[in-house]
Amino acid sequence: LGSSCILEDMAGVDGQDVKLRAVLSRFKVSIAEPSDLHQLHAYEIFIIVDDSGSMLWPSSMAEQEELGIVSPSQLQPEHRGRELQKIESLRRQGRGFKSRWDELQESL
């Protein structure tokens, strides 16, 4: 994604716990405290994600409904191509929306 690991960025910085707490808060992580994450700094962490066709869909159900796009979970396999064409057409028309892939990249 072109950005360095957030834990590497925070290494040796005063207020590290404050920054880690902000990350935990942003992503609504309630099962860990900043002190729990300090140990992760000693590891290389790799994340493998699937950029499948459904990742092109709008990230929110409300946006899918507004754009008239059927949710991938409710879509019959034989209609998948039609919905992908609709999504590509909307993007070409300048109808910008945050895709599931965009949201995943932002989260990572």
pLDDT digits 0-9 by tens, 67-89: 888 888 888 888 888 888 998 89
Cβ partners under 8 Å of residue 40, min gap 6: 7
Place of tokens 């991938």: 72
In the chain, which residue ranges form alpha helices assigned H by DSSP?
6-10, 16-26, 34-37, 61-67, 80-92, 100-107
Regarding pTM above 0.75, the answer is: no
Judged against a pLDDT cut of 80, whether residue 52 lies above it is answered with no
Taking a C-beta distance cutoff of 8 angstroms, is the pair 37, 92 a contact?
no
pLDDT over 60 (residue 3): no
pLDDT in tens, 18-39: 888 998 998 888 898 888 888 8
The angle subtended at Cα 31 by Cα 27 and Cα 36, nearest 5°, is: 95
Q: What is the pLDDT of residue 4?
A: 46
